[in-house]
Structure 1
């Protein structure tokens, strides 16, 4: 992990003209267009948007640069224009072929299209809609333009994926370079991507390489992203603080502020834009911790962030990043994890806010550093994060059993309700996000049942052996992807726990 910004000596950015405020009137027509947005957008909108030139970014020497690491490298420049509610960007990506066969196509996930009006499903559960849409339903999306370095490219009908046919087959072990311009129309909503009432959240907003076709979901985190290296510049009006989990260099010119960051071997880079926020600082075993907020006193929440960061480092392994940032921002639910950055809902207070801070901090181990398949096995990272929070509150406040009892009560209530409404209830844990009926089932299985599973393992193994197994698990998966098999192997040193794991995962155990 590096926070150096020297690579940006190669980047040249020309000023971006702002779009007039009436561009908001054009957004609705733009977003209602289905299918390939490049081809179907109306002429009036094109004329308006073309009046505002994109960044002209030159990444000199990329084609000739021989990379030592076998992972993609993204070079992204973007600027947020509040008057239009649009993020304009340009991306160059170095794509490796890590397979043993020539590759003719590569695929990108276009997660902002989950916010299109014609998306296959809503971007969040209906239960959170009223808290998210503060001015009524709002839509967004991403438009990819002027892709170079390819023979052809096409956006899927649902908008989930951009498929690129390379100019020529990419040999095994070879590298290709692709460049594109993109526009992200941000929805007006309190969510992980959107213009909130007080902040602008920018997560998963750029095209990202995807090994498999992405699938949108109303529940969970349908954002599988392979590790990559990033050089990033983000520009906004100078009145905004640009918050990010990575240190960088900030410049101001002509009323605009730009943050330059570089990050290596990370899942993603995300930002929050805010005006008038306060940063309260702390540290955890030498790691700087920033807590951003609009309130007067956040000593308890900062203590939860620093305390849990130190606790998880001691129990699981070293924290990999130069700093840790927590932002109280506009979200309709508890929180959202990003690499070195945690978003927690500014509507939370007291124990609920502290619990969200600790849970999201645990995700730095069980998501950011040790990844998992969030689409097929969401219980792994969410369950480990939730159980890790219970361990922390047990060590810090003696409240471990309280957290376990609460999870058991919620889970049993869920099973009871479902049994009354139907002939049976599916309590299996290994299933894709699309197989969950909604937020209630997702929460009960992925969070609560997972916590009960790890508590049962603690009863069988004892706390010391369980923690030792989780340390082995983290060590084995750090820098890669954690699987249920890795978890089982790591925990089964001397005691075979595969039966417990399989009975929970398959839904055959009785709780």
Structure 2
């Protein structure tokens, strides 16, 4: 697998060089202490003392952990920030850096200050409201976490190593526990790519046509409120245990050090010589204490709406594509990106190496299309995406982000939706570009904004998206279909994609056509707008869904039974 880049646990670390190096038994603990000293001196305005601490820490990090480690990069950035502050105080002119939206500028020294605070204050982020609110460091999304909002907050630092096809990272998660817990569970969805039991699936047989390449996520260390805690990573579940007793109710802070191996395959996460696209790659809080079923049929992923702050380092030959994130600096052969992405189900990324790009706008929203093939259908893709955005903003609710990224790839599926990013296969661009793009953009509202149970009730998003694609894109007039069967089946009850789609896509569409006919056009669309207002950024259970639409129609018999709260 080549060289590994990760956060070492409590093991001796030898110097990176055999000459003039140092030997430290636990460099991470020492660097953590130095980081805290740096914070103290920086807050007190003692910049000379802060710089001395940062230089010492940088020397330790370079020699014990190597030049590409996150701590090394962190303290390099800290020193650069202090240098810029000194230059600014001396009256040195600093060139402004453009914001990603092109609407305003940000002086480079201020960006560096905010970056340093981002890097060195992992636990007390709530003290600095600009971390989770609209701030000058990045383009502001339309909606921010409200007062008393208990959405999880993820802070992610990551470095991409293309030769090893790995990402080394640290993820810090702050969230609320309503009551005491004897364990905290995270999803490790990316371990699906190491599960050999799925090799016979339709997707794997296609994805492995250019050779088998496994992917996985390896957990290196877990901290709770800064203290190492026992954990067990097995399959797609990370189980975190309290050192004694239980995790108390209230605010929790979990830090996870990990290494990700990227599979260069033709799947919804994968890559090739042109670029890499990843969804569901980070550990995410488990919603209900139950692991996802081991299947590649459907989308067996359920995540809470969350806010992410990102610091991502990539080689110069790559660019990071992620809504609301911008490049803040270059250093040597690396580029560093930073930003805050709010209220998303996942943090999808695209590492672009040699794609072409086209852009179209709708109001304040930019639609970026990344493509490479002769079948890319640029005009059709952009115009359809713009049409879909306009339709759903007018008839459902606002699109809460400032960018939508569409990425062509060679996966088995025709399309795949993530918050702010849509994947479209070359095969779909050849056969049904408008229908695929409209369908996937519609998912920005149905699952990504209005969350639902994609495992046990996929019709809640797939059926509604199919309905709107037929009705709003193709002009199909809804009709009444009578009783609709099979919507109580979960994704693991299907052994082929065609059977799954016949139920949750096509029968799901029929369910919404029935509701439309019974309610009438105006009341149906009014109900959908209310559905958006009531449940945006929430997870709607099948039972809640049934009660909501039963109240609108006055006929509970039209709706499937809710399987799960």
TM-score bucket of the superposed structures, by smaller chain = 0.7 to 0.9
Alpha-carbon shift at residue 163 of structure 1 (Å):
0.9
- Please give the residue correspondences for 1:56-205 in structure 2 after superposition, counting only pairs within 5 Å: 56=71, 59-66=119-126, 69-97=149-177, 99=178, 101-118=179-196, 121-122=197-198, 126-149=201-224, 152-157=229-234, 159-167=235-243, 169-172=246-249, 174-196=250-272, 198-205=274-281
Which residue pairs with 1:444 in the alignment? 502
Across the two proteins, how many residue pairs are aligned to each other? 432
Alpha-carbon shift at residue 361 of structure 1 (Å):
0.5
Alpha-carbon shift at residue 379 of structure 1 (Å):
1.2
Residue 366 of structure 1: SS of its match in structure 2? coil
Structure 1: 5+ residue stretches without partners: 1-21, 28-37, 39-49, 409-425, 507-511
Which residue pairs with 2:69 in the alignment? 54
Contact 1:473 1:486 (8 Å CA) reproduced: no
Alignment RMSD: 3.0
Alignment deviations for residues 330-380 of structure 1 (CA, whole Å, 9 cap, x no partner): 321111111111111133225512111111110111011100011111111
Alpha-carbon shift at residue 81 of structure 1 (Å):
1.3
Is residue 496 of structure 1 aligned with residue 558 of structure 2?
A: no
Larger displacement relative to structure 2 (304-313 or 487-496): 487-496
Is residue 23 of structure 1 aligned with residue 2 of structure 2?
A: yes
Task: Return the alpha-carbon distance in structure 1 between the equivalents of residues 373 and 270 of structure 2.
Answer: 22
Q: 1:250 to 1:53 in 2, by over 3 A?
A: closer
Alpha-carbon shift at residue 490 of structure 1 (Å):
4.0
Contact 1:470 1:490 (8 Å CA) reproduced: no
Contact 2:323 2:341 (8 Å CA) reproduced: no
Is residue 214 of structure 1 aligned with residue 274 of structure 2?
A: no
Task: Return the alpha-carbon distance in structure 1 between the equivalents of residues 125 and 349 of structure 2.
Answer: 28
Is residue 482 of structure 1 aligned with residue 497 of structure 2?
A: no
Contact 1:153 1:162 (8 Å CA) reproduced: no
Alignment deviations for residues 290-346 of structure 1 (CA, whole Å, 9 cap, x no partner): 122125751111000000110011111111112222111232111111111111113
Q: 2:401 pairs with 318, 321, 324, which one?
A: 321
Task: Return the alpha-carbon distance in structure 2 between the equivalents of residues 113 and 52 of structure 1.
Answer: 28
Q: 1:494 to 1:103 in 2, by over 3 A?
A: closer
Task: Return the alpha-carbon distance in structure 1 between the equivalents of residues 334 and 209 of structure 2.
Answer: 28
Alpha-carbon shift at residue 184 of structure 1 (Å):
0.8
Task: Return the alpha-carbon distance in structure 2 between the equivalents of residues 319 and 65 of structure 1.
Answer: 27
Task: Return the alpha-carbon distance in structure 1 between the equivalents of residues 259 and 67 of structure 2.
Answer: 11
Contact 1:241 1:273 (8 Å CA) reproduced: yes
Tell me the TM-score normalised to structure 2 length.
0.70
Contact 1:245 1:270 (8 Å CA) reproduced: no
Contact 2:219 2:256 (8 Å CA) reproduced: yes
Task: Return the alpha-carbon distance in structure 1 between the equivalents of residues 560 and 416 of structure 2.
Answer: 29
Residue 450 of structure 1: SS of its match in structure 2? helix
Q: 1:160 to 1:146 in 2, by over 3 A?
A: same
Larger displacement relative to structure 2 (325-334 or 441-450): 325-334
Alpha-carbon shift at residue 109 of structure 1 (Å):
0.9
Residue 148 of structure 1: SS of its match in structure 2? strand
Contact 2:304 2:345 (8 Å CA) reproduced: yes
Task: Return the alpha-carbon distance in structure 2 between the equivalents of residues 60 and 429 of structure 1.
Answer: 49
Q: 1:445 to 1:250 in 2, by over 3 A?
A: farther
Contact 1:284 1:307 (8 Å CA) reproduced: no
Contact 1:198 1:329 (8 Å CA) reproduced: no
Which residue pairs with 2:307 in the alignment? 229
Task: Return the alpha-carbon distance in structure 2 between the equivalents of residues 323 and 334 of structure 1.
Answer: 22
- Please give the residue correspondences for 1:32-47 in structure 2 after superposition, counting only pairs within 5 Å: none
- Please give the residue correspondences for 1:83-482 in structure 2 after superposition, counting only pairs within 5 Å: 83-97=163-177, 99=178, 101-118=179-196, 121-122=197-198, 126-149=201-224, 152-157=229-234, 159-167=235-243, 169-172=246-249, 174-196=250-272, 198-211=274-287, 212-215=289-292, 216-295=294-373, 298-350=378-430, 352-394=432-474, 398=475, 400-401=476-477, 427-482=485-540
Task: Return the alpha-carbon distance in structure 1 between the equivalents of residues 545 and 152 of structure 2.
Answer: 27
Residue 220 of structure 1: SS of its match in structure 2? coil
Q: Which has the larger radius of gyration?
A: 2
Contact 2:370 2:408 (8 Å CA) reproduced: yes
Alpha-carbon shift at residue 196 of structure 1 (Å):
3.2
Residue 258 of structure 1: SS of its match in structure 2? strand
Residue 213 of structure 1: SS of its match in structure 2? coil
Tell me the TM-score normalised to structure 1 length.
0.77
Q: 1:93 to 1:59 in 2, by over 3 A?
A: farther
